[in-house]
Structure 1
Amino acid sequence: MNVVINSQVVLSRVPEGPIAPYLGRFADSLDATGYAVKWIHRQILLGSYFSRWLGQKSVALQDITSDHLTRYLQYRARRVQPRCGDHAALAHLVDFLRREGVVPEERLAVPEPFSVDHHVRAYEVYLREGRALATATIVNYVPFVRDFLKHRFGAGSVKLSCLSAADVVCFVRHQAPRLHRKRAKLMTTALRSFLSYARFCGEVDVDLAAAVPVVPNWSMASIPRAIAWEQVRQVLASIDRRTATGRRDYAIVLLLARLGLRSGEVASLQLDDIDWKEGRLSVHGKSGYRNELPLPADVGRAIAAYLKSGRPPSTSRCVFLRARAPARAFQGGCAIGSIVRHRLQRSDVDAPTFGAHQFRHGLATEMLRRGASLGEIGDLLGHRHPQTTTIYAKVDIQALRKLALPWPRGAQ
């Protein structure tokens, strides 16, 4: 006997267990977020199996936890071949039930008061609520602090009052040689932040932040790795704009190449940031800084083509959305970097790197070659300090040759 779950899903058996009454609404939510019919059917079928198992184990809705997902998938793996997306599908179902208010939020285990996790969480709360730092900054700082505390206290109790300058220097000397210069510099910045926090809390009496060694990181030590404009054309030509994903990726690469946007700026671009009448774009830069840029005609046409025939239906105000369900905005610049890497690999372009930032460097280099001043380049790229732009002077080889002193006693 066939059982209709919703307009998209029909099962051959009546669902059983505590989740059964909610499968229809879950299927509707999947459909609304852009999932394909086959994926909706698969998730509903898996959810019905999970619900039946919960019923057999006499587990009520209010008692469901993440542990039940693990136990069920272990049970299922003994009977059928497991699939890599099963856990994510069930987690999606449980999240839906929590949003519906039928499954309570799961309480996380509270770490021991003197453990590494306890101090790390307290520091994380301080950064988020006390300092109002960006999530990206917190994500970068916290792992270094955890490693520092584990290095000093191991699995034992953490007593910040026992920290000394020797502990700080020992950790930096141990870690710095293993890291890239920029990562090592980030590590020392995170340590200074944490040790200042420890003193602020009264756990440490002396200024241990001053004991953090300085990691050399000379300004403008390298030449920017810029993609050539001919290579940009090759990448753009390789993108199939007959598909929705192709139209999206073409517009993204064009934004990176023509306006030199950072990957995070592309990911956070809002529909309201585009002034179609005036042909202008409002860009959300670092630290909340906004930069008003002219919208080139070719970039505008590419974005419009994606919005008309490519962007999936969504309540999100972000311009660019995921191509696969759920149709939502990108979580950050890493997704844009992944798109760029994929497109570079497909185009067979021998680019300097696989990252998105090379398009920014490429635009600055091309502008310099065409006679633009460093001030004009800095204005377009949204540099708040003039010295940030001076690194591009190193790529103007012809101008640098005029400044070169003659070699003593002639060329060798």
Structure 2
Amino acid sequence: MPSASRSPPYAGRVSEVVEDEGVLPEPMATTLAAYERHLTAERDLTPHTVRAYSGDVVTLLDHASRLGLTEPGELDLRTLRSWLAKQQTLGLSRSTLARRATAARVFTAWLHRSGRAPRDAGASLGSPKARRTLPPVLRADEAADLIRAAAGLADDGSPVGLRDVAMLELLYATGIRVGELVGLDVDDLDRSRNVVRVLGKGRKERSVPFGHPAARALDRWLEVGRPALRADGAGPALFLGARGRRIDQRAVRTLVHRRIADVPGAPDIGPHGLRHTAATHLLEGGADLRSVQELLGHASLATTQLYTHVTTDRLRAAYRQAHPRA
């Protein structure tokens, strides 16, 4: 069951929901609060996802109220399209417009399904296709340099240094998300098989293998680093922050950016860049797309296919550089 700390951002103060200088009509604010409860309690989405979905819906409802609508059930396709057109005049990117159109369709489908609207106004709402840019990734030698540089700083056996090496090794070895990394407990590691149990998006569990270098770094962290850093309240958390409790995502992002800066010529990437790097290197090494999809926890194969464009682009660049008739 979701904890009380994950209550909707607007719960208990629906009359105060504000978008810019406008205030939502009470029926719209009340419906918004109910929608957030649905996203939290029934769909079990993270607080970040709930805020993103509800934030987009707020802009839609604010636009509708300025057009004279007072009930969410009054939304129609014309209103939705005029809202998207207004967003476009504000200079929003195609990817943001596509995301907001998706948020609107999810919201109107819920309105209809829950009996709050006579029809699903967003069922026919189109959205611009987002341009999928190729994410920056490390070369294999740069990834090795990253780990080597971090390991060199951990030669003194400091708990924080051992932790940093273990986290970097695991991020690169598995391609897990930073949120999945910080949520790991000690018992999620299966050292007999070199597998880590990960709770991904939608609370879907998957098992991801890791190699011997990551296993050695984890062993040193668990045997030497974690006991020295652990404080009351750490619980079963695998990775701990400087104060001895479960590390947070911001600290991991800061660590990755700082360590990447130690690698000459490497692109400035964060934990998600290491995830891209892991996927790219898997495909370049001959892994099939379905296996990479399962390892990364992608719901759709189309998401994983982005990395095939990355590897093709890298091969094309290598060809242009090396072939005499390129």
1:67-216 correspondence runs (5 A): 110-112=13-15, 114=26, 117-153=29-65, 158-176=70-88, 178-216=91-129
Kept after mapping to 2: 8 A contact 1:115/1:156: no
Counterpart in the other structure of 2:321: none
Kept after mapping to 1: 8 A contact 2:28/2:71: no
* RMSD, aligned CA: 3.3
| Residues 384 and 172 of structure 1, relative CA distance in 2, 3 Å threshold | closer
- Residue 316 of structure 1 aligns to a residue whose secondary structure is coil
Distance in 1 between the 2:113 and 2:291 partners?
43
- Structure 2 gap ranges (5+): 1-10, 16-24, 318-324
Which of 136, 152, 161 pairs up with 1:225?
Answer: 136
Which residue identity does 1:114 align to in structure 2?
E
Counterpart in the other structure of 1:316: 235
| Residues 234 and 191 of structure 1, relative CA distance in 2, 3 Å threshold | same
Which residue identity does 1:208 align to in structure 2?
A
Indicate yes or no: 2:167 matched with 1:252: yes
Distance in 2 between the 1:283 and 1:380 partners?
10
TM-score of the superposition, structure 2-length normalised?
A: 0.74
Indicate yes or no: 2:196 matched with 1:281: yes
| The structure with more radius of gyration | 1
Counterpart in the other structure of 1:329: 246
| Residues 149 and 275 of structure 1, relative CA distance in 2, 3 Å threshold | same
- Residue 360 of structure 1 aligns to a residue whose secondary structure is helix
| Residues 339 and 182 of structure 1, relative CA distance in 2, 3 Å threshold | farther
Distance in 1 between the 2:41 and 2:314 partners?
51
- Structure 1 gap ranges (5+): 1-107, 402-410
Counterpart in the other structure of 1:344: 260
Which residue identity does 1:184 align to in structure 2?
L
Kept after mapping to 2: 8 A contact 1:114/1:157: no
Q: Measure how far apart 1:330 and its partner are.
A: 4.1
Counterpart in the other structure of 1:238: 149
Q: Measure how far apart 1:286 and its partner are.
A: 3.1
Counterpart in the other structure of 1:53: none
Counterpart in the other structure of 2:6: none
| Residues 399 and 231 of structure 1, relative CA distance in 2, 3 Å threshold | closer
Distance in 2 between the 1:153 and 1:132 partners?
29
- Residue 277 of structure 1 aligns to a residue whose secondary structure is coil
Q: Measure how far apart 1:181 and its partner are.
A: 3.2
Q: Measure how far apart 1:364 and its partner are.
A: 3.1
Deviation readout 1:168-210 (Å, 9 max, x if unpaired)? 1111112246333333222111111222233344443232112
Distance in 1 between the 2:276 and 2:188 partners?
24
Distance in 1 between the 2:297 and 2:176 partners?
9
Counterpart in the other structure of 2:322: none
Q: Measure how far apart 1:140 and its partner are.
A: 1.8
Q: Measure how far apart 1:335 and its partner are.
A: 4.7
| Residues 164 and 226 of structure 1, relative CA distance in 2, 3 Å threshold | same
Distance in 2 between the 1:356 and 1:397 partners?
22
| Residues 338 and 150 of structure 1, relative CA distance in 2, 3 Å threshold | farther
Distance in 1 between the 2:258 and 2:288 partners?
33
Distance in 1 between the 2:316 and 2:263 partners?
32
Distance in 2 between the 1:389 and 1:111 partners?
39
Q: Measure how far apart 1:339 and its partner are.
A: 2.8
Distance in 1 between the 2:176 and 2:217 partners?
16
| Residues 253 and 211 of structure 1, relative CA distance in 2, 3 Å threshold | same
| Residues 109 and 278 of structure 1, relative CA distance in 2, 3 Å threshold | closer
Deviation readout 1:312-361 (Å, 9 max, x if unpaired)? 2344222112223xx43245x5553333223323x154433422222222
| Residues 318 and 181 of structure 1, relative CA distance in 2, 3 Å threshold | farther
Q: Measure how far apart 1:271 and its partner are.
A: 0.9
Distance in 1 between the 2:181 and 2:276 partners?
16
Q: Percent identity of the aligned residues?
A: 26
Kept after mapping to 1: 8 A contact 2:109/2:123: no
- Residue 34 of structure 2 aligns to a residue whose secondary structure is helix
Counterpart in the other structure of 2:278: 363
- Residue 208 of structure 1 aligns to a residue whose secondary structure is coil
